[in-house]
C-alpha cells in the first residue's frame, strides 16, 4: 500500500480526528481557557503517540509545548515541523453560522475556529507522517514536531524553550504550514513574512468620569486627545508619521516589483471581497507591495467612555487603544516601538496623562527563495496539489520563524495550505476539505522529497 492509498482509505477517520482536535476551545489569549489549552495539548500528545511517535508535553511559563519525534536513520536529514494548537478568540459569536468549536462541513469547507489557523494545517503534516509510517513501516527522514500553544499571543515562552532545548530541536530544515496559498487554484511557497510589534496606549483625564455639563469646556476629554493622536499616526500620503519609522526599510527591489506584477491580481475583486468603497494605503505602492514588502501601522481596538444603552453625559476618565505595527526585514521591533512611544509622548496634549505599554515583537523574515530544500517543497506541492507553486510573500507574522534562524541556524519552508478567504481570525473560519486532503498528500510526498536532499 502506498501512503496515498492509505490516506484515501482513512479519509473519514482522519476527518473525525481533525474534528476532535478542533473541538477544544484552545484560546491562548484568555485565562479562562487555561484548562482547555492543557486538554488540547494532552489530546494532541496522545494522538502523536498513537501514530507511533515519541511525544510529550513540556510545561513553559505560559501554555505548554507539545513535542514529538521519530528517529528513522541517524544519517538521514531531520525535519523540524512547527505549528500551533492555540487559536484566536472566536468573538463576535453572533456572526458565526455555526458554533466555532463544533466543526461542520458545508459546501466542501470545514467550519471551525482553528480550521485553517493552524490546527487543520499542522494536522495535515501529522497525518502525512502517519501515512508514510503506516505504508512503509518507517520514514525516509527523521521528524520532530514542535507544536506550541502561544503563537497567537506572540510566542511569549517559545524563544526561551528553544534556547534551552537546542540539542533536542537540532534539525536540517524547518517546515511550517501556517500561511495561505496564493489563491483557491494556485498553491504557493511563501518566502517572506512581516514581523510585528504591539503597544497599548492609555490616555487619562479626570480622576473619575465627570458631568459633561459641569466640566465640559474646562478639561481635555481623553477620547478627543487619543483620537487626535491616532489621527496623526499617518500622513496624507498614507505613510506612517512616526519619525524614523522607515529609517531601516529597504526599497522594494526592481526584481520584486516585477515578480509581484506578474501575479494574477484583480484589484477590483479584492476591493469587492472586502466590501470597501476604495482601497487605500501608502502612496506609490501597489496593494501587494503594501502588504508584503512595506511596513504598516494599525489601531486594533479603541475603548473609552459610555457605550451602553441610551445616553450618559460625562467626560470619561480615560481612553485607550491597542496598536500593532507590521515590520519588514531590518526593522528592529524594540527600536520601532521606542520611536512610537517618543512620538506619542511628543504629540499628546499636556492636559492629559499618557501611559504606553510596549509588548515584545518579532522581526520580519525572508527565507531563501531557491536551493534544494525549496525545490523539494515545490515537488511535494506538485504531487499534493497537481500544480507547481508560486513564490509569494505574506503580510502576516509567525514570530518564531526568525528565532529558528538566529537560535537554531535553520531556514524555514513556509508551505501554506490555507486560503485568505478561509477567514483566519474572523467569524466563520474555514478550511477547504480539498486543501486539507491535498495538504496531507503534500506532507507525505514532502518526506520523500526532503530525503533526497543531501545536506
Ligand atoms: N498563521 C498566522 C500568520 C498568517 C497571517 C499567515 C495571515 C497567513 C496570513 C499566525 O497565526 C498569526 O496570526 N500570527 C499573528 C502573530 C501575532 C499575534 C504576534 C499575526 O500575524 O497577527
Ligand atoms: Mn497561525
Ligand atoms: Mn493566527
CA distance 340 to 337: 5
Please, which residues have CB less than 5 A from ligand 3, an ion?
A: 117
Distance 431 CA to ligand 2 centre (A): 13
What's 249's DSSP letter? Answer: P
264: left (phi over 0), alpha (psi -120 to 50) or beta: beta
- Of 234, 237, 233, 252, the C-alpha closest to 283 is 237
CB distance 365 to ligand 1 below 6 Å: no
Q: Which ligand places an atom closest to the C-alpha of 152?
A: 1
Distance 397 CA to ligand 2 centre (A): 8
455 confidence band (pLDDT: 50, 70, 90): low
E-strand ranges in 370-434 read: 390-394, 412-414, 430-432
- pLDDT tens digits for range 182-222: 999 999 999 999 999 999 999 999 999 999 999 999 999 99
CB distance 399 to ligand 1 below 6 Å: yes
Distance 150 CA to ligand 1 centre (A): 12
Is domain 195-249+295-362 classified as CATH 3.30.1360.40? no
CA distance 244 to 247: 5
β-strand pairing of 78-84 with 142-148: parallel
The confidence score (pLDDT) of residue 251 equals 96
- pLDDT tens digits for range 364-409: 999 888 899 999 999 999 999 999 999 999 999 999 999 999 999 9
Percent of the chain at pLDDT above 70? 100
Q: Which ligand places an atom closest to the C-alpha of 82?
A: 2
Distance 153 CA to ligand 3 centre (A): 9
Distance 26 CA to ligand 2 centre (A): 13
- Of 429, 402, 431, the C-alpha closest to 416 is 431
CB distance 178 to ligand 1 below 6 Å: yes
CATH topology of domain 3-193+364-451: Aminopeptidase (3.40.630)
Torsion over CA of 224, 225, 226 and 227, rounded to 10 degrees?
A: 50
What mean pLDDT is predicted for residues 274-294?
Answer: 98
The residues that bridge with 109 in the sheet, in sequence order, are: 106, 432
State how far Cα 65 lies from the chain centre: 17
Ligand 1 test: best mutation among 62, 148, 152, 325, most atoms within 8 Å of CB? 152
CB distance 449 to ligand 1 below 6 Å: no
- Of 306, 308, 317, 336, the C-alpha closest to 225 is 317
- pLDDT tens digits for range 49-66: 999 999 999 999 999 999
Which DSSP string corresponds to 205-240?
Answer: -SSS-EETTTSTTTS--HHHHHHHHHHTSB-TTS-B
Phi, psi of 121 (to 5 degrees): -75, -45
C-alpha cell at 28: 491562548
Hey, is 161 helix, strand or coil? helix
What are the domain boundaries of the chain?
A: 3-193+364-451, 195-249+295-362
Sequence-ordered list of residues with C-beta below 8 angstroms from that of 436, at least 6 positions apart, any chain: 15, 18, 110, 120, 123, 124, 417
Distance separating the N- and C-terminal Cα atoms of the chain:
29
CA distance 209 to 74: 67
The confidence score (pLDDT) of residue 252 equals 96
CB distance 423 to ligand 1 below 6 Å: no
Closest residue to atom 18 of ligand 1, CA basis:
152
Ligand 1 test: best mutation among 117, 182, 197, most atoms within 8 Å of CB? 117
Closest residue to atom 17 of ligand 1, CA basis:
154
- pLDDT tens digits for range 1-43: 999 999 999 999 999 999 999 999 999 999 999 999 999 999 9
- pLDDT tens digits for range 417-442: 999 999 999 999 999 999 999 999 99
- Of 342, 141, 351, 332, the C-alpha closest to 247 is 332
Cβ atoms 145, 41 nearer than 8 A? no
CB distance 396 to ligand 1 below 6 Å: yes
E-strand ranges in 114-208 read: 142-148, 173-176, 188-193, 195-204
Is the Cα dihedral 148, 151, 156, 162 positive or negative? positive
What's 266's DSSP letter? Answer: -
The confidence score (pLDDT) of residue 370 equals 86
Ligand 1 test: best mutation among 63, 398, 426, most atoms within 8 Å of CB? 398
Residues in the chain: 455
Question: What is the residue-averaged pLDDT of the chain?
Answer: 97
| pTM: predicted TM-score of the whole model, two decimal places | 0.95
Amino acid at each position: 500500500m502506498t501512503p496515498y492509498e492509505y490516506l484515501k482509505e482513512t479519509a473519514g477517520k482522519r476527518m473525525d480526528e481533525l474534528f476532535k482536535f478542533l473541538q477544544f476551545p484552545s484560546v491562548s489569549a484568555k485565562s479562562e481557557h487555561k484548562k482547555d489549552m492543557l486538554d488540547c495539548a494532552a489530546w494532541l500528545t496522545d494522538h502523536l503517540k498513537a501514530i507511533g511517535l515519541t511525544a510529550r508535553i513540556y510545561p513553559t511559563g505560559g501554555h505548554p509545548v507539545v513535542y514529538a519525534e521519530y528517529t528513522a536513520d541517524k544519517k538521514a536529514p531531520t525535519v523540524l515541523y512547527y505549528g500551533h494548537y492555540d487559536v484566536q478568540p472566536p468573538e463576535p459569536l453572533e456572526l458565526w453560522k455555526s458554533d466555532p468549536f463544533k466543526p461542520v462541513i458545508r459546501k466542501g469547507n470545514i467550519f471551525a475556529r482553528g480550521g485553517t489557523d493552524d490546527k487543520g494545517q499542522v494536522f495535515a503534516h501529522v497525518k502525512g507522517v502517519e501515512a508514510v509510517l503506516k505504508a512503509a513501516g518507517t520514514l525516509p527522514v527523521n521528524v520532530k514536531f514542535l507544536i506550541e500553544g502561544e503563537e497567537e499571543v506572540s510566542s511569549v515562552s517559545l524563544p526561551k524553550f528553544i534556547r534551552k532545548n537546542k540539542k533536542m530541536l537540532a534539525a536540517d530544515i524547518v517546515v511550517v504550514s501556517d500561511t495561505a496559498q496564493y489563491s483557491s487554484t494556485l498553491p504557493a511557497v511563501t518566502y517572506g513574512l512581516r514581523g510585528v510589534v504591539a503597544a497599548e496606549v492609555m490616555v487619562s483625564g479626570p480622576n473619575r468620569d465627570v458631568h459633561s455639563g459641569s466640566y465640559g469646556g474646562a478639561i481635555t476629554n481623553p477620547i478627543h486627545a487619543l483620537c487626535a493622536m491616532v489621527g496623526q499616526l499617518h500622513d496624507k500620503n498614507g505613510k506612517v508619521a512616526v519619525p524614523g519609522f522607515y529609517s531601516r526599510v529597504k526599497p522594494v527591489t526592481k526584481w520584486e516589483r516585477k515578480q509581484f506584477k506578474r501575479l494574477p491580481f484583480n484589484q477590483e475583486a479584492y476591493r469587492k471581497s472586502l466590501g470597501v468603497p476604495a482601497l487605500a494605503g501608502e502612496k506609490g505602492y501597489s496593494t501587494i507591495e503594501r502588504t508584503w514588502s512595506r511596513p504598516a501601522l494599525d489601531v486594533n481596538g479603541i475603548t473609552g467612555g459610555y457605550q451602553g444603552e441610551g445616553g450618559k453625559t460625562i467626560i470619561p476618565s480615560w481612553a485607550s487603544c491597542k496598536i500593532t505595527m507590521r515590520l519588514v526585514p531590518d526593522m528592529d521591533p524594540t527600536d520601532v516601538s521606542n520611536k512610537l512611544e517618543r512620538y506619542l509622548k511628543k504629540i499628546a496634549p499636556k492636559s492629559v496623562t499618557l501611559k504606553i505599554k510596549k509588548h515584545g515583537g518579532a522581526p520580519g523574515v525572508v527565507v531563501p527563495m531557491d536551493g534544494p530544500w525549496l525545490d523539494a517543497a515545490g515537488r511535494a506541492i506538485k504531487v499534493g496539489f497537481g500544480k507547481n507553486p508560486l513564490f509569494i510573500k505574506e503580510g502576516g507574522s509567525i514570530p518564531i520563524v526568525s528565532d529558528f534562524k538566529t537560535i537554531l541556524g535553520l531556514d524555514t519552508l513556509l508551505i501554506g495550505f490555507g486560503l485568505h478567504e478561509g477567514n483566519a481570525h474572523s467569524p466563520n473560519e474555514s478550511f477547504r476539505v480539498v486543501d486539507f486532503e491535498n495538504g496531507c498528500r503534500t506532507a507525505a510526498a514532502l518526506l520523500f522529497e526532503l530525503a533526497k536532499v543531501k545536506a
